[in-house]
Amino acid sequence: MSSSTTADALNQRLADSGMRATPQREMVYEILLERRDHPTADELFARVKAKLTTISLATVYNCLDALVQCGLVRQVNYEREPSRYCCNLREHAHFFDTESGRIIDVDLPPEYVDRLRQVLPPGFVVHGIELGFRGIAPATLSASSAQ
Amino acid sequence: MSSSTTADALNQRLADSGMRATPQREMVYEILLERRDHPTADELFARVKAKLTTISLATVYNCLDALVQCGLVRQVNYEREPSRYCCNLREHAHFFDTESGRIIDVDLPPEYVDRLRQVLPPGFVVHGIELGFRGIAPATLSASSAQ
DNA sequence: CTAGGTGCAAAAGGTTTGCGGTTAA
DNA sequence: TTAACCGCAAACCTTTTGCACCTAG
């Protein structure tokens, strides 16, 4: 049920971008949805391999590229660390907790985003905004998403 | 004169962080100030090598690390591209022009920065904020800094 | 039948490190 | 004299690519 609807949605999204659904892509996406904790490709590889034992790391990278390209996944970069992957499609910023290494999603209200771009002089065409905080999160916040 | 005062400032900053001034560090910093165009380490290496012919790429990386650590230089990362280096110490965002590859500094008024952090729920300790825009800059803007 | 995907291994590419020699406090 | 720093080369690590094989449309 829920799993089949996400599979359908994935199928649709991939098709819209001229790509096919495959067991590997479905599994990578499913595992990414399972815990929304911004894993690296390597970490994801380990989790996926437990269920699809023959998958390779290169395929995980390829699947993630496909998911990013079709707009279902966001690639999150912090400094020069390995990329992390995020299946939260809402407009949000990232808080990088330097103590735990955790990434926390912070929802951004639409009017906040509008105000963000107002800092640009006129004439700039904006295709994307990236807002990141670095610091220490309240210890009590154990989930991977705030607000 | 101006060059000697920046050298003094560099010396001071390095000393404050327990490091020495060296010809290589001075030259890397000077070249970085010359054109404020966010070069990569490689690019900087080429420019510095023209004046300090024996310098090595590893030393450029080490010098940049030193300059970043003592707070005179900011390391700017965009997606997974090579790091770029920025000697603008004012609070500012970066606009990544996807057509030219250029990075444009956008000054952030203090009250804007204050408003940025207001999106965080209470309890978060912020040590740094990174705001980046991706898009197309007005062609007329040829300088590397806006506002 | 053919375009697109997978898995493997090797390559790429930016950055870091180890080491012997040098320099400045 | 001794701790910091340089230059060189090798190592590192994440990501990409080439290639042979497979599979769905």
Give the model's pLDDT for residue A95.
Answer: 98
Give the model's pLDDT for residue A1.
Answer: 45
CA/C1' separation B51–C21 (Å): 23
The answer to whether A20 CB sits below 7 Å from nucleic acid chain D is: yes
Query: Which pLDDT tens digit goes with each residue over A57-76?
Result: 999 999 999 999 999 999 99
* The two structure tokens encoding residue A48: 């996926």
- B115 vs A115: CB contact, 8 Å cut-off? yes
CA/C1' separation A55–C6 (Å): 8
Mutate to test the interface with A, among B78, B113, B124, B141 (most CBs of A within 10 A): B124
Choice between B144 and B74, residue whose per-residue pLDDT is larger: B74
Considering only residues 2-21 of protein chain A, which place a Cβ less than 7 A from any atom of strand C?
14, 18-20
Mean residue pLDDT across chain A: 93
Helix (H, G, I), strand (E, B) or coil at B108: coil
The answer to whether B8 CB sits below 7 Å from nucleic acid chain C is: no
Mean residue pLDDT across chain B: 93
| DSSP calls for chain A | -HHHHHHHHHHHHHHHTT----HHHHHHHHHHHHS-S--BHHHHHHHHHTTSTT--HHHHHHHHHHHHHTTS-EEE--TTSPPEEE---SSEEEEEETTT--EEEEE--HHHHHHHHTTSPTTPEEEEEEEEEEEE--TT--SSEE-
Give the model's pLDDT for residue A139.
Answer: 84
Give the model's pLDDT for residue B2.
Answer: 47
Q: Which residue has the tokens 């004169």?
A: B1
Average pLDDT score over residue span A80-108: 97
A75 neighbourhood in chain B, CB within 8 Å? 79
The answer to whether A22 CB sits below 7 Å from nucleic acid chain C is: yes
The nucleotides of chain C lying under 7 Å from a protein CB are: 4-10, 13-18, 24-25
CA distance A62 to A50: 18
Helix (H, G, I), strand (E, B) or coil at B102: coil
Query: Which pLDDT tens digit goes with each residue over B26-77?
Result: 999 999 999 999 999 999 999 999 999 999 999 999 999 999 999 999 999 9
Q: Which residue of A has its CA nearest to B78?
A: A77
A134 neighbourhood in chain B, CB within 8 Å? 126-130
End-to-end CA distance of chain A: 28
Quick one: pLDDT band at residue B6, thresholds 50, 70, 90?
confident
